[in-house]
Amino acid sequence: MTTSNSEKSVYILGISCFYHDAAATLIRDGEIVAAAAEERFTRKKHDNSFPTNAIKYCLESQRITAKDLTYVGFYEKPLLKFERALFQHISFFPRTLKSFVVTTPFTVTNKLRLRKVLKKEIGYRGDVIYIKHHLSHAASSFYPSPFTEAAVLVADGVGEFATTSFGTGTGNELKMKGEIDFPNSLGLLYSTITAYLGFAVNNDEFKVMGLSAYGDTNPKTNIYYPKMKKLILQSADGSYSLDMTYFSFQYGERMPSTKMLELFGGPIRKPGEKLTQTHKDIAAALQMVTEEVILSILNHVQKVTGLKNVVLAGGVALNSVCNSKILAEMKFKDVWINPDPGDGGASMGVALYINHSLLGNKRRPFETTYLGPEFASDEIREILEKKGLQYVYFENEEKLMETAAKLIADSNVIGWFQGRMEWGPRALGNRSILANPGNPKMQDILNKKVKHREEFRPFAPAVCDDNLNNFFVQKYLSNNLSRFMLTVAKVKNDWWAKLPAITHIDKTARVQTVSRDENELFYDLIKELGKQTEMPVVINTSFNLNGEPIVCNPEDALKTFFATEIDYLFLGDFLLSKHNAKIREE
């Protein structure tokens, strides 16, 4: 059904898909009203298919249909990308024959016939606006930023040709001024080492970042640092190129070449194989080189543009350790990154570009990351009743807060499912697993019994914005980044022993700051926990099993709850327990 004001409203739909992290974003009269990744609905991690479910959610959230869409934008130029793939195939034929045969039909059927796909999947019959991939990334971070003007840096695996690009944003104008092209790619360097270390490409790069803290982080003593430097040649202007003799991603199924295996002195680690100090030192060397390259590029960008602020986008912008170095060591006044700087976020970027650059509409600051589906109490109750599950219902929000905080303080692990789902890959307090950061055993408990993942993986803290300086060193923080859990900070010395479950081996933590304006319920819960423990800090990790997307709906939450050793589950106003102990509402 179409709302009565649909004729007056301008609806812009942005889409990203057919590579990885398919997503959709909907803008109504200049306001971002809905955004979600397809994986949350299909339950396929990094789902790259056409985001039918995400689009349907966006449309249904406004009670409109595809006929009400004014514009639809796509996050790259398929013909240009196909040109690059064709050039790559010809350059390395016959070694690229297998991959070309596999990928070409998919590209021709889907990307190059997108209008037919849109008509078939959602009934849209209008035109599609295509913009370059890196421009979509740039728009995703510049237009929602609080800056009237800013330098822009995009770094990822590869767009059509570009892998790293920079530009400037002023008002509604966004201009890209320079780029580095495929196969020279900082993102693909990081992914290649991720593959060498036995982790999944386009999925586990953040694991390598976490592992790097366990390695030798001194470039003078890490024996793999000078070897890592051989892979990438840096110039004085910040540009770089890869020594392609160490790589085979441009033509083969395996990303590291035989020469790289010889350089690092060992075979590719098998998934699940024990991590050695060598692996940790290689991860540390990669992280150091990545930071050097990014800081060098940004130093050049700052000199060229003379701008005080910078926005980052592309998958490399998810490297929160590098982001903290930018804050601590660069002369930029502040940094802003979209909550989803990767390909999913590019769906937001193309919609924003249409709204601001093409239509000239006034920019708005990014108000909330809670842009996904939500479920009313009646819906949740009906699901629980149908499944015959026992629950406690809280009519009083204060009692719910007190109960949840008490359970966390007593070192129970709770599932926390509230309000609208977050936008981006981080759980930010609405689809979260929460626990006591003061329990020294909690990291092991969560990794082994709940998340089913590697023991070295750290957990992030959430803290109220007005308590931030009590626990963490401000030098490494910016509310623009910590709001979305996109930076790490040093834990203050007095709190290392008191907050062991969130303090990484290098005494840092990937902090989320929570404001009451943006998430009143989560803020109040942390404050209540502080009253009970004198530490208003909570472990906040994503509500999902290892290898699965974050939960989207109550059914997902219940499935994950029963598949893990989570002790309690808060589904909106309802509480479920796996224990026999009686929960009583006072």
Residue 93 has what pLDDT?
A: 59
d(C-alpha 545, C-alpha 283), whole Å: 25
d(C-alpha 502, C-alpha 525), whole Å: 18
**In this predicted structure, which of 136-145, 299-308, 469-478 has the lowest mean pLDDT?**
469-478
How many H-runs (helices) and E-runs (strands) does the chain carry? 20, 22
Question: Which architecture, in CATH terms, is 11-135+344-358?
Answer: 2-Layer Sandwich (3.30)
Residue 104 has what pLDDT?
A: 60
Whether omega before 365 lies within 30 degrees of 0, making that bond cis, reads no
**In this predicted structure, which of 408-412, 474-478, 492-496 has the lowest mean pLDDT?**
474-478
**3 — pLDDT class (breaks 50, 70, 90):** very low
Q: Look-up: residue for tokens 């990203």?
A: 16
Residues 73-83 have pLDDT tens digits of 999 998 887 77
Residue 492 has pLDDT above 80, yes or no: yes
Do 169 and 147 contact (CB within 8 A), yes or no? yes
Q: Which amino acid is at 247?
A: F
**546 — pLDDT class (breaks 50, 70, 90):** confident
d(C-alpha 486, C-alpha 130), whole Å: 29
Residue 235 has pLDDT above 70, yes or no: yes
CATH number of 186-337: 3.30.420.40
**582 — pLDDT class (breaks 50, 70, 90):** very low
Residue 6 has pLDDT above 50, yes or no: no
Residues 326-367 have pLDDT tens digits of 999 998 999 999 999 999 999 999 999 999 999 999 999 899
d(C-alpha 297, C-alpha 550), whole Å: 34
Residue 196 has pLDDT above 50, yes or no: yes
Residues 369-388 have pLDDT tens digits of 999 999 999 999 999 999 99
Residue 513 has pLDDT above 60, yes or no: yes
Beta bridge partners of 491: 472
The mean pLDDT of 563-577, rounded to a whole number, is: 97
The mean pLDDT of 229-233, rounded to a whole number, is: 98
pTM as predicted: 0.94
Whether omega before 94 lies within 30 degrees of 0, making that bond cis, reads yes
How buried is 487 (Cβ within 10 angstroms: 0-12 exposed, 13-18 middle, 19+ buried)? buried
d(C-alpha 322, C-alpha 328), whole Å: 10
Residue 79 has what pLDDT?
A: 80
The mean pLDDT of 180-193, rounded to a whole number, is: 96
31-37 and 23-28 beta bridge pairing: antiparallel
Phi-psi category of residue 188: left, alpha or beta, with phi > 0 → left and psi -120 to 50 → alpha: alpha
Q: Has domain 377-577 been given CATH number 3.90.870.20?
A: yes
Beta bridge partners of 512: 462
Q: Which amino acid is at 80?
A: L
* 377-577 shares the fold of 11-135+344-358: no
Whether omega before 78 lies within 30 degrees of 0, making that bond cis, reads no
User: For the packed helices 186-196 and 277-305, what is the interaxial angle rounded to 10 degrees?
Assistant: 170
Q: Where are the domains of the chain?
A: 11-135+344-358, 186-337, 377-577
Residues 442-476 have pLDDT tens digits of 999 998 888 888 888 889 999 999 999 999 997 77
Better pLDDT: 478 or 429: 429
Enclosing H/E stretch for 189? helix 186-196
Residue 105 has pLDDT above 70, yes or no: no
